[in-house]
Chain A
């Protein structure tokens, strides 16, 4: 069961994983919008440890201004559910 749905605003975790990850550094800590659920795939961070942990993967659209502070383009990434939290969860003022 996918935790997020198209249209949801999600934040990529700002953590720096100790090992392999497919969460690019440039997206960490930034907020994007879920476009669609791509598939259910094994989480590479766990695969390299010999574990098979399958979870939903989402196509997430980030605005250039959110990522870089400028620009009008969009960058779309595939992000495993473990890389994401609800946008509101990451706010420092809550």
Chain B
């Protein structure tokens, strides 16, 4: 059951909904538990970071990642994504950031549970309107010529940002490179 945040109003609504489904015989508490445990056992931003580090060290993989995110995720063992994965690449000229203005769609299996601010009305309404100001509040000051692209996950597409590789990381191996990538870097609210 989703009882770990029982003090949050939405959690009470979710629990009420679960109880209705259980009462109607559509699902059992144990089945819900199994699904949630299955999702959260493996969902982590470490997964997305591994994909980024592979792309930084293997240009052919980077090409496949940008062309077909689902297939590239599967190469690293992340199979069965229930969404179309689109990877968007940051460059010296372009910075990408993701949002879901309609609700809170997010590639949970590759980024882990979404942060609470990602689901806030403030982030969702402001980042499409004034992304440069919002990113500055995250501590990310982008130079004026940088083109900002905001990707609204309003359909079945989920986005993952491929950050730029750190200049100072020439001698790092893939695992160490993965350690330089943060969840916010994968969302686009940090440089990496």
Binding site for B on A (CB under 8 A): 22, 24, 26, 38-39, 41, 57, 59, 64, 67-68, 71-80
**B150, A78: Cβ atoms under 8 Å?**
no
**B148, A74: Cβ atoms under 8 Å?**
yes
- Shortest beta-carbon distance from A37 to chain B in Å: 12
Residues 108-132 of chain B, each 1 if its beta carbon lies under 8 Å from chain A, else 0:
0000000000000000000011111
Binding site for A on B (CB under 8 A): 84, 101-102, 128-132, 147-157
**A73, B147: Cβ atoms under 8 Å?**
yes
Q: List 29 A-B contacts (CB under 8 A).
A: A22-B102, A22-B154, A24-B101, A24-B102, A26-B101, A26-B128, A38-B155, A38-B157, A39-B156, A41-B155, A41-B156, A59-B157, A67-B128, A71-B129, A71-B130, A72-B147, A73-B131, A73-B132, A73-B148, A73-B149, A75-B128, A75-B149, A76-B150, A77-B154, A78-B153, A78-B154, A78-B156, A78-B157, A80-B155
Q: With A and B bound together, what is the CA distance between A80 and B130 in angstroms?
A: 25
B131, B147, B149, B154 — most chain A CB neighbours (10 Å): B154
Across the A-B interface, the 8 shortest Cβ-Cβ residue pairs = A78-B155, A73-B148, A75-B150, A77-B152, A74-B149, A76-B151, A22-B154, A75-B128
CB neighbours of A38 from chain B (8 A): 84, 155, 157
CB neighbours of A57 from chain B (8 A): 155-156
Q: With A and B bound together, what is the CA distance between A30 and B155 in angstroms?
A: 18
